[in-house]
Structure 1
Amino acid sequence: MKRFHVHLHVDDLAKSIAFYSNLFASPPARVEADYAKWMLDDPRVNFAISTVGHGKGIDHLGIQADDDAELAELKARGQAADRTLLDEGETVCCYARSEKHWVTDPQGIAWEHFQTLDGAVPVYGQSKFTAKAESACCAPRAARGIPVNVSVRGTGACC
């Protein structure tokens, strides 16, 4: 069964961990000096925050596949969406080794489809495109989405 994925950039990791731990009524499944991740079952989401990257807000969205067949299905869907698909293959990102590809929606928001192969990698990221540790792990520069920094206070609007 697939899992929805959200990755946010935050300014203060400790404050954000405290906030989301209360919001989700659960501590993170993994914490590093620059990263935290919750693997929630209700709702089924892989929610990650990090101080790596630029700005704050949504870095990218995604869907985590449990197996090769689900990942292949997601890739076919991305290709059918008539958008450029960036196939990274096997890569290290967010302290995990994954097989992944990216597609960017018409607004420029990056969507990551991935299958985690090893969730216990000791480095934040390493790109096969740069052959070295890369500080802007996750959404590659060509597919990176635009930050969504919309105030939820005083807008008078819903959704």
Structure 2
Amino acid sequence: MKRFHVHVVVPRLDESVRFYSSMFGAEPSVLKDDYAKWMLEDPRMNFAISARGGEVGVNHLGFQVDSDEELTALREQVVAGSVVVQDQPGAQCCYANSNKYWAQDPAGVPWETYHTLGGIPMFGADSRESAAPDAGGACCAPVTSIPAVIEKKVGCC
């Protein structure tokens, strides 16, 4: 079953955690110094915020799926519609290890579809993250095949 995913970049994490905890009536399921995530059941949504630089606002949208089989099925559906995707197997970002792919809608909004395989102790362990953690860039955004707007805008998960 799919879970809708939204990732928002915020200027001050503590204020946003307080706001969204009140909005959702629940504390985050993951809370770090620079990141928080709510795994909501009603509505079924993975809502994440981060304060790691970058443009404040909606960073990307997507779907979290329960299996690699479901990930493959959704990828095939998107590719059948002549949408370009960037695969990212074994991505390590947002304190998680995931298999994923990225696409971009005609308005330039990045879409991430992924299956989480497990947790990791850092925000991002991909080489781009460790090379420039304060650059405000993505820890796990694709670097080829998708227009540069994803490169500049997307954080991760």
Pair in the same fold by TM > 0.5: yes
Q: Give unpaired runs (5+ residues) of structure 1.
A: 148-159
Note the aligned Cα RMSD (angstroms): 2.0
Aligned to 1:58: 58
Q: Distance in 1 between matches of 2:62 and 2:68?
A: 16
Determine which of 147, 150, 153 is the counterpart of 1:144: 150
Q: Distance in 1 between matches of 2:132 and 2:46?
A: 22
The structure with the largest alpha-carbon Rg is 1
Tell me if structure 2 keeps the 8 A contact 1:103–1:143.
Answer: no
Tell me if structure 1 keeps the 8 A contact 2:6–2:58.
Answer: yes
Q: Distance in 2 between matches of 1:70 and 1:21?
A: 30
Q: How many pairs were matched up?
A: 145
Aligned to 1:95: 95
Aligned to 2:22: 22
> 1:74: Cα distance to partner?
1.3
Q: Distance in 2 between matches of 1:133 and 1:125?
A: 11
Aligned to 1:107: 107
Say which SS state the counterpart of residue 126 (structure 1) adopts: coil
> 1:73: Cα distance to partner?
1.1
1:42 aligns with 2:48: no
The amino acid of 1:115's aligned partner reads: H
Tell me if structure 2 keeps the 8 A contact 1:28–1:37.
Answer: yes
Identity of aligned residues (%): 46
> 1:134: Cα distance to partner?
5.4
Aligned to 1:74: 74
Q: Distance in 1 between matches of 2:109 and 2:152?
A: 6
Structure 2 length normalisation: TM-score? Answer: 0.84
Aligned to 2:33: 33
Tell me if structure 2 keeps the 8 A contact 1:108–1:145.
Answer: no
Q: Give unpaired runs (5+ residues) of structure 2.
A: none
The structure in which a higher percent of residues are helix is: 2
